[in-house]
């Protein structure tokens, strides 16, 4: 049957035709205002996150659950004991990953938005003015932390974003810059 289903002319497709046939659509969408807003909402709504670090002894990745809040500039902050393995890991290598976004009560967990944020950890000096401001913000967000926030081995750690991958659900993937994640007034971190 000529020209019907299953017909093959025997002709080899031209290079441009082959390229078009094998070209795949980039799964990463252009970052738009809706993606930026979703990313900011995910961070602002996160009370907890998964923190990924590299074990300084083995180099293996290690993930911990940490409590989370935002500083005055919208930068993620956590409170970590010096006794925690992830505190030692961040002291050795401040690069880390933060995963925010919780699955909803219904449906496939992979349809719910989540974001992986590359961060640089900065320990906040306990004697500095930043510590006092963060303590007030932290206790508003995590009031039960008043039991241990003043223990000598606990430190605030600012998790300064260097980039992020947002998955807003199936077909909604975006790459974000620190500027995309900045608070609406443009600041990341303290004024």
Q: Is residue 31 part of a domain?
A: yes
| Parent domain of 61 | 26-181
Q: Is residue 188 part of a domain?
A: no
Q: Is residue 116 part of a domain?
A: yes
- Annotate 140-181 with three-state secondary structure: HHCHHHHHCCCCCCEEEEEEEEEEEEEECCCCCEEEECHHHH
Q: Is residue 20 part of a domain?
A: no
* pLDDT tens profile 11-42: 655 665 555 545 667 789 899 999 999 999 99
CATH of the domain at 76: 2.30.110.10
Per-residue pLDDT of the chain (191 residues; tens, 9 = 90+): 444 444 445 565 566 555 554 566 778 989 999 999 999 999 999 999 999 999 999 999 999 999 999 998 889 999 999 999 999 999 999 999 999 998 878 878 788 899 999 999 999 999 888 999 999 999 999 999 999 999 999 999 999 999 999 998 888 899 999 999 986 654 443 33
Q: Total structural domains in the chain? A: 1
Q: What's the whole-model pTM score?
A: 0.81
């Amino acid at each position: 049957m000529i020209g019907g289903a299953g017909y093959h002319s025997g002709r080899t497709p031209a290079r441009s035709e082959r390229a078009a046939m094998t070209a795949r659509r980039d799964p990463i969408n252009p970052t738009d205002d809706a993606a930026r807003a979703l990313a900011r909402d995910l961070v602002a709504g996160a009370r907890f996150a998964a923190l990924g670090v590299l074990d300084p002894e083995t180099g293996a990745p290690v993930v911990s659950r940490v409590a989370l809040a935002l500083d005055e500039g919208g930068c993620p902050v956590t409170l970590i004991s010096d006794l925690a393995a992830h505190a030692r890991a961040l002291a050795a290598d401040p690069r880390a990953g933060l995963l925010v976004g919780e699955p909803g009560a219904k449906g496939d967990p992979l349809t719910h938005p989540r974001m992986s944020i590359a961060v640089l950890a900065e320990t906040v000096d306990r004697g500095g003015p930043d510590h006092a401001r963060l303590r007030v913000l932290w206790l508003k967000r995590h009031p039960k932390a008043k039991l241990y926030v003043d223990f000598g081995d606990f430190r605030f750690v600012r998790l300064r974003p260097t980039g992020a991958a947002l998955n807003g659900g199936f077909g909604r993937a975006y790459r974000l810059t620190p500027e995309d994640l900045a608070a609406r007034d443009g600041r990341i971190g303290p004024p």
